[in-house]
Structure 1
Amino acid sequence: MNAVSIGPLRAAKPADVDSLLDRVFGADRRRRTAYRIRDGMTAIDDLSFAAFDRGGALVGSLQCWPAALDGEVPVILVGPVAVEPALQREGIGRAMMDRMIAAADYLGSDPLVLIGDPEYYGRFFGFESHWTREWTVPGPVERRRLLARVPEGITLPAEGHLGPRR
């Protein structure tokens, strides 16, 4: 991994985060299902992180959002996880995920949910799709990519609609 430091996302300028997200996911990213799931929510400060290079430039961001199943069962939506395209595959995203999961475990957070590659997020972080098979979301999603990481001793409903926590 390049020499980067991981810190709270609040240390990054919001305009820099938006610019990074546009470079990584495209300017039309706001139409994605994940944006609908977290519509109107504010990112969770204690679980949102940024990666900065030696010069202090933002090279990665990870945001977490309050969400809920059927408006009642609290979960945390993870993402987007973004890394500067030229620096992808250097461990920056993984380092931010490790930091976020450590913080979530320390804080005793609600279950974590994300839309992403099941092989990657399963292998490295323990996310699984068996929790989410019958869930609905406010938009299109490839079923196998809707994943959850559930703390020991907690169970989630087999069915429900995932959306913003109100």
Structure 2
Amino acid sequence: MVQFVPIAEISADAVEQLLDRAFGTDRHGRTAYRIREGAVALPDLSFAAIEEDTLIGTIQCWPIALCGDDGRDVPLIMLGPVAVEPLRQQGGIGRLLTARALEAVDADPASPAVMLIGDPEYYGRFFGFVADRTGGWRVPGPVERRRLLARGTHAPLGDGLLGPRVVAHV
């Protein structure tokens, strides 16, 4: 039976090893990593999937911001990566992890909007992510525009650059 625990209960090395297996050791050069560079994952919104004491999946959420061309700084939460042990992919673990993270976000009505870079057919169908509000967003690297997604009507409209948002942890 799959159990979900806060990712803070899992060793950072185990998480990194799973991410390497799921995405490759060259993953750090991807645009998503550059958007959140220097940020620390939000522990209350990041989870691990464990089965029989074995790590089989993780999801992390990150504090980022849209630095608007109009001078405003709009906080956002970046969802991902969603990593699942390669031999366990296609079994719904990623969907369960994503649902768990979004439930945690939704539990706080003051939470910022959530964005991600991902498959619009999948994330739109299951979680309501769309590219309707992200057309003016810029990122520090290449991205397929249709894969730059946000969830909810409180996602900001307008032009700006996505980047890390430093959050003090007490």
Please point out which of 38, 42, 45 is paired with 2:36: 38
List 4+ stretches of structure 1 deviating above 3 A: none
For 1:82 and 1:26, how far apart are their aligned partners in 2?
A: 11
How far did residue 155 of structure 1 move? 4.7
Unmatched segments (≥5 aa) in structure 2: none
* Other-structure match for 1:59: 56
For 1:105 and 1:77, how far apart are their aligned partners in 2?
A: 14
* Other-structure match for 2:26: 28
How far did residue 158 of structure 1 move? 2.3
RMSD of Structure 2 on Structure 1 (CA): 1.1
Matched-pair contact (CA < 8 Å) for 2:67–2:163: yes
SS of equivalent residue, structure 2 residue 150: strand
Answer yes or no: is 1:70 the counterpart of 2:67: yes
* Other-structure match for 2:122: 120
Listed as ranges, the matches of 1:3-152 within 5 Å are 3-54=1-52, 56-70=53-67, 72-108=73-109, 109-150=111-152
SS of equivalent residue, structure 1 residue 34: helix
Matched-pair contact (CA < 8 Å) for 2:136–2:157: no
Matched residues, number = 161
Unmatched segments (≥5 aa) in structure 1: none
For 2:155 and 2:82, how far apart are their aligned partners in 1?
A: 25
Matched-pair contact (CA < 8 Å) for 2:114–2:155: no
For 2:163 and 2:43, how far apart are their aligned partners in 1?
A: 19
Identity %: 55
For 1:104 and 1:27, how far apart are their aligned partners in 2?
A: 29
TM-score, normalised via structure 2 length: 0.91
Give the counterpart letter for 1:65 in structure 2.
W
How far did residue 165 of structure 1 move? 1.3
Give the counterpart letter for 2:127 in structure 1.
F
